[in-house]
Amino acid sequence: QGGFDCICLPGYRRNQLGFCDDIVECTSTVKPHKCHNNSHCIDLPGTYKCACDEGYEPEPDTHDMRPFCRRVDPCKSMTDTRKCGVCKQTDKPPYFTCICLPGSINYNATFCITPSFCDVEKNPTAPEFECPPKSVCKNEQCDCERNFDWIRVPEPITLEGIKARKGCTPESWCNKYSCKPPAKCRDTKPAMGECYCPNGYNADEDLGCVDINECTNSTVKCPAASKCINFIGGYKCECDPGYAQTSSAPDRMTNPKCEAVQYCTLQRDNCTAYANTQCIDKNPFFSCDCKQGFQRNQTKGACTGQQCSQSECVDIDECKTGEHKCHEVAKCTNTKGAYTCKCPPGYYGNGKICTDIDECDEETDKCDRESQSCVNLPGGHNCTCKPGYDWGDVGKCKNIIECDSPKLHNCTEALKLKCIDVPGSFYCACQKGYVMALNKTCLDDNECLFNNSCPTGPGDKCENTIGNFNCTCLKGFRKKPDCAATPKECPCEDILEC
């Protein structure tokens, strides 16, 4: 009585000496903290607070000391499409990836770089992407000096290609300006150039580049057996008729080596088109003379006796004289000094031997497989109707319905047979209530031998008849009234005589 007591404030507890110590809720197992997921505990005097982990932020309208934390959307700050293209959130650190736009490539999945990217401004001591000569780094992009153009990095763009980029080249005047054809453009200095006339042209102030006619120039001389041919922008020396170019030198166009064509040796003559002639080279050209022992017949134009050199030898029409070797079915066509043989349609071969094509065997015919038979013929084939089919109105084979005409089938009613038609034929089957015996005759089908013909109750009875059967009741039974109209399906019930 008359004393006092000291009580520890919330967040503190008394120690053995009677003093109040701060409760470290962040590590306490007695009174642990209550921070939510994705946050961590920060100890304060007499209390604690919760702070969101790195990469997380408090949700709206949440408690400042113990907030609910959500992942920060890193793509909100990725507004420069040149550096990140299209930003996409992921589930793993750094929780985003960059989908680069065309013309740039991904670097470490979180950064896009272009072929002109540079990092000298961010990393001046050890840059990874330095600018090549004649360019400087501005805003992380290499910028060519004045009068220089950027050299494109070859496709596809790679990190190695960017690091090995050639940089800048002197600005091409010809890339910006064009010359009137046939004038050509050439660069003289950076950002400067000129139009000039190529070889074979003279410059004219009014007309531009004018073709030079070298063939009128006395200094142009073509070799023997050739003549000068002028063309736009140049000239060539062309061998005279009867002479051919034999040089393969680089200057063969203006300095050819023309030699007489040995038509007879090269077999480029047409003397074989004339009977009994031989080719004689004349340098240039050639002539067709009669062979030794023949002379020209001035009337018929053929060599018939002694040596002669006048009048052409006439062509022999082997197709008319029968001297050809064409196959008997082949077509013989006369040509100059020869003839050709060609097999007609439906045959194959070189014309001297023609073999019939069996369209039926090779299945190249147009017969209907179901209703027609293929018959091979010399040089062709024919389609005939199979048994059971006949020609229809449209030139196709139609099925004969034998069952419609008693003359076409032998299924007689007296033998209890019925006719059934199938494509191309028919067959006989027994009528209902009959079965086919081994000797192909129809016998009565005793339906009562099968338990499922009639109901099988204690009062049911099956009575076989010729071609049919009846379902009746034993004495003391009757058909149920509700199904008596269908006796073969209606079971029998006991008659309660009492």
Two structure tokens written together for 328? 């008997």
Q: Residues 156-167: what's their mean pLDDT?
A: 86
Q: Which residues contact 453 (CB under 8 A, 6 or more apart)?
A: 447, 462, 469, 471, 488
Confidence of residue 301 (pLDDT cuts 50, 70, 90): very low
Which region among 49-58, 84-93, 292-301 has the lowest average model confidence (pLDDT)?
A: 292-301
Confidence of residue 298 (pLDDT cuts 50, 70, 90): low
Report pTM: 0.31
Q: HSE of 287 in the Cβ direction (CA atoms, 13 Å)?
A: 10
pLDDT of 270 > 90? The answer is: no
Distance (Å, whole) CA 350 – CA 337: 19
CATH number of 357-399: 2.10.25.10
DSSP, collapsed to helix, strand or coil, labels residue 474 as: coil
Confidence of residue 340 (pLDDT cuts 50, 70, 90): very high
Delimit the CATH 2.10.25.10 region(s) of the chain: 357-399, 403-494
**What is the topology classification, in CATH, of domain 403-494?**
Laminin (2.10.25)
- Tell how far CA 282 is from the center of its chain: 59
Which region among 143-152, 309-318, 463-472 has the lowest average model confidence (pLDDT)?
A: 309-318
What pLDDT, on a 0 to 100 scale, did the predictor assign at position 421? 92
Judge whether 356 and 347 are in contact, CB under 8 Å.
yes
- Per-residue pLDDT tens for 101-137? 888 888 888 888 888 898 887 887 778 888 888 898 8
Confidence of residue 429 (pLDDT cuts 50, 70, 90): very high
Q: Residues 177-195: what's their mean pLDDT?
A: 85
Distance (Å, whole) CA 71 – CA 94: 11
Distance (Å, whole) CA 481 – CA 491: 10
Q: Average pLDDT of the chain? A: 84
What pLDDT, on a 0 to 100 scale, did the predictor assign at position 302? 44
- Per-residue pLDDT tens for 214-233? 898 888 899 998 999 999 88
DSSP, collapsed to helix, strand or coil, labels residue 117 as: strand
Two structure tokens written together for 434? 């009959």
What pLDDT, on a 0 to 100 scale, did the predictor assign at position 312? 54
User: How much of the chain, in percent, has pLDDT values that exceed 70?
Assistant: 94
- Per-residue pLDDT tens for 319-339? 988 889 999 999 999 987 688
Gyration radius (Cα) of the chain, Å: 55
